[in-house]
């Protein structure tokens, strides 16, 4: 009969007191400056090479990729990707947009794009992996479940706390990226146009739906998609945490699954049914960029649906097991 809000407060407090979020922030504070420095070096390098003429750099990338297309040694799926890339670059050139102009917003956008497949899941797992298994391995679950509160309410409170922390991680990552990179690149760039709506269909990039949005809006869309894939990872990790007693086992299982996903994405183009696995669908933000998907036939809608189905299934398993399971040790 306890208030659900009080239960959520309990779960939130426990994660906080365990200093899990503090660790995530610490990792961000160490890693972001490293990437900012790397990005700065890249920008300096290309500036040196092309004497600050980004148009000629863009033109040379188009030429390189077009040349590569005529080579026989390049496999077919690479050619598809290159064709799409050339069309995209041409679009930037025609519309006089420097896609490489470094500023805090661009850096954040890039960082998030690269973080979605491994880094964001890792941070989410730091919190999600031991939500239930830590209570079991420490024995506190016996205290928790013998209080007059229905078991589903306890798991629901944990899920709510998890949602809260996933959102907080996303927000903190974007904020820290922006603040730290801004020190070097300047805090401008919100209004810069970015093109979205590229439709990759086989070898062609369908540019009929392409339109410009400001980089701020783009970042928001991107963060939303990454949040969604992070939530799916979190929910599946919660399920593993319910099923596995040891926190280490739960973390390793999830991390292996995520890594397997990124490896599969790189080599599964001919294994069609792999697209129904959740772990090859996590890179939602690549659809915004117009990058061809790892497996033909995958679209944003398809990936969202697959992830949604996996999440719902994981929730059903979690709640069923958690409410029925005998606590034997």
Partner 1 sequence: MEARTKEIILSVQGLKKTIGRKPIIHQVSFDVYAGEIFGFLGPNGSGKTTTIRMLVDLIKPSAGKIVICGDNVGTHPEKALSHIGCIVENPEMYGYMTGWENLEHFARMQAGITIDRITEVVEIVGLDQRIHDKVKTYSLGMRQRLGIAQALLGRPKLLILDEPTNGLDPKGIKELREFIRKLAESGMSLFISSHLLSEIQLMCDRVAIIAHGEVIAVGEVEELVSQAGTYTIWQVGDTTEVKRMLSGQQDVQLIPDNEHRIDESILSGLHHPIITIMDEDKISEWVSRFVSAGIAIHSVQRVAPSLEELFLKLTEGEKIG
Which residues lie near partner 1 (CB under 8 A)?
A: 1-3, 6-7, 9-10, 13-14, 17-19, 138-140, 142-150, 324, 326-328
Please, what is the minimum distance in Å from the beta carbon of residue 23 to partner 1?
13
Please, what is the minimum distance in Å from the beta carbon of residue 324 to partner 1?
7
* 6 versus 179: smaller Cβ distance to partner 1: 6
* 67 versus 325: smaller Cβ distance to partner 1: 325
Which two three-digit tokens encode residue 137?
């391995």
Asked if residue 46 lies in contact with residue 57, where contact means CB atoms within 8 angstroms, the answer is yes
Asked if residue 105 lies in contact with residue 216, where contact means CB atoms within 8 angstroms, the answer is yes
Please, what is the minimum distance in Å from the beta carbon of residue 18 to partner 1?
6
Please, what is the minimum distance in Å from the beta carbon of residue 206 to partner 1?
54
Q: Which residue has the tokens 């994981």?
A: 314
Cα distance between residue 106 and residue 99, in whole Å: 9
Please, what is the minimum distance in Å from the beta carbon of residue 328 to partner 1?
7
* 26 versus 327: smaller Cβ distance to partner 1: 327
* 122 versus 145: smaller Cβ distance to partner 1: 145
Buried b / exposed e over 184-209, threshold 16 CB at 10 Å, is bbeeebeebebbbebebeeeebebee
Cα distance between residue 185 and residue 180, in whole Å: 9
* 51 versus 324: smaller Cβ distance to partner 1: 324
Cα distance between residue 205 and residue 84, in whole Å: 5
For residue 98, report the phi and psi dihedrals to the nearest 5 degrees: -90, 105
């Amino acid at each position: 009969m306890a208030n659900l809000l009080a239960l959520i407060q309990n779960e939130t407090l426990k994660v906080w007191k365990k200093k899990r979020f503090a660790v995530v922030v610490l990792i961000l504070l160490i890693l972001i400056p490293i990437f900012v420095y790397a990005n700065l070096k890249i920008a300096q390098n290309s500036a040196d090479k092309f004497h600050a003429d980004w148009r000629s750099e863009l033109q040379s990338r188009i030429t390189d990729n077009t040349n590569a297309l005529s080579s026989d040694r390049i496999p077919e799926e690479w050619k598809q990707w290159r064709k799409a890339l050339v069309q995209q670059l041409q679009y930037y050139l025609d519309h006089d947009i420097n896609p490489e102009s470094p500023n805090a917003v661009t850096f954040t956008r890039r960082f998030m794009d690269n973080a979605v497949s491994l880094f964001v899941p890792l941070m989410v797992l730091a919190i999600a992996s031991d939500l239930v298994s830590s209570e079991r391995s420490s024995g506190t679950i016996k205290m928790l479940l013998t209080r007059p509160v229905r078991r589903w309410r306890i798991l629901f409170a944990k899920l709510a706390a998890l949602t809260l922390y996933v959102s907080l991680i996303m927000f903190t990552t974007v904020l820290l990226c922006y603040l730290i990179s801004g020190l070097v690149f300047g805090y401008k760039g919100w209004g810069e146009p970015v093109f979205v709506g590229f439709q990759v269909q086989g070898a062609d990039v369908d540019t009929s739906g392409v339109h410009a949005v400001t980089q701020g809006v783009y970042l928001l869309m991107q963060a939303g998609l990454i949040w969604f894939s992070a939530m799916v990872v979190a929910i599946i990790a919660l399920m593993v945490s319910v099923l596995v007693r040891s926190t280490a086992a739960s973390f390793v299982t999830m991390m292996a699954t995520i890594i397997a996903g990124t490896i599969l994405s790189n080599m599964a183009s001919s294994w069609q049914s792999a697209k129904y696995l959740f772990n090859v669908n996590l890179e939602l933000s690549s659809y915004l960029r117009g990058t061809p998907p790892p497996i033909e036939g995958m679209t944003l809608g398809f990936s969202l649906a697959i992830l949604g189905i996996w999440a719902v299934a994981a929730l059903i398993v979690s709640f069923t097991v958690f409410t029925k399971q005998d606590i034997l040790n």
